[in-house]
């Protein structure tokens, strides 16, 4: 499959990953692969970098430092793929049939608790949420903002 994926300009963000053939719903498209280490190690390693391709595996704080075609798959609030942990490996899997020439996307569901980061979304979906953060992270940030505002009043 990776040989049937190409990287080209994207209206979502700089470059994107596109399929050259039809992909059926439920098909594992590509593995999100790269070196693995702890989130703490990643934070130290990339503390001065604006952009990274880290993917949280959900396994005790382990992250994958994306390297390869999958790192070019952009976020969308109306994605055509999702990520699945299959036997300890992270796969991008089609959530619907995808036509040749279509850009592959999945919802990033960022959950980094660093409150100085913003994660604005520019996916262009009709119901774009405006952020790449997960719903839980959006709620957590709203609660924190209310607590901070209340503390400032006191």
**Residue 12 is part of a domain; what is its CATH number?**
2.170.270.10
- What is the SS3 assignment for 69? helix
pLDDT tens-digit profile, the chain (154 residues): 566 999 999 999 899 999 999 999 999 999 999 999 998 898 898 888 777 888 888 767 889 998 889 999 999 999 999 999 998 899 999 999 999 999 999 999 887 655 556 788 989 999 998 988 888 888 888 888 898 888 888 7
For residue 144, is it within any domain? Answer: no
| Residue 38 within a domain | no
Q: At which residue do the structure tokens 């709620």 appear?
A: 139
Residues 6+ apart with CB under 8 A from 58: 85
Instruction: Identify whether 114 is part of a domain.
Output: no
> Does residue 47 fall inside a structural domain?
no
Q: Which domain holds residue 9?
A: 2-33+68-109
Note whether residue 75 is domain-resident.
Answer: yes
């Amino acid at each position: 499959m990776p040989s049937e994926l190409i990287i080209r300009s994207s209206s979502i963000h700089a470059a994107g990953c596109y399929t050259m053939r039809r992909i059926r719903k439920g098909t594992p498209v590509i593995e999100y692969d790269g070196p693995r280490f702890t989130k703490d190690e990643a934070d130290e390693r990339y503390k001065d970098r604006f952009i990274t391709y880290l993917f949280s595996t959900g396994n005790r704080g382990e992250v994958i430092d994306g390297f390869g075609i999958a790192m070019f798959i952009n976020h969308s609030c109306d994605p055509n793929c999702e990520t699945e942990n299959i036997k300890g490996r992270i796969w991008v899997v089609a959530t619907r049939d995808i036509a040749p020439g279509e850009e592959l996307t999945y919802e990033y569901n960022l959950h980094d608790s660093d409150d100085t980061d913003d994660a604005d979304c520019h996916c262009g979906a009709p119901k774009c949420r405006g952020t790449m953060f997960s719903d839980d992270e959006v709620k957590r940030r709203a609660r924190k903002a209310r607590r901070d505002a209340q503390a400032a009043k006191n």
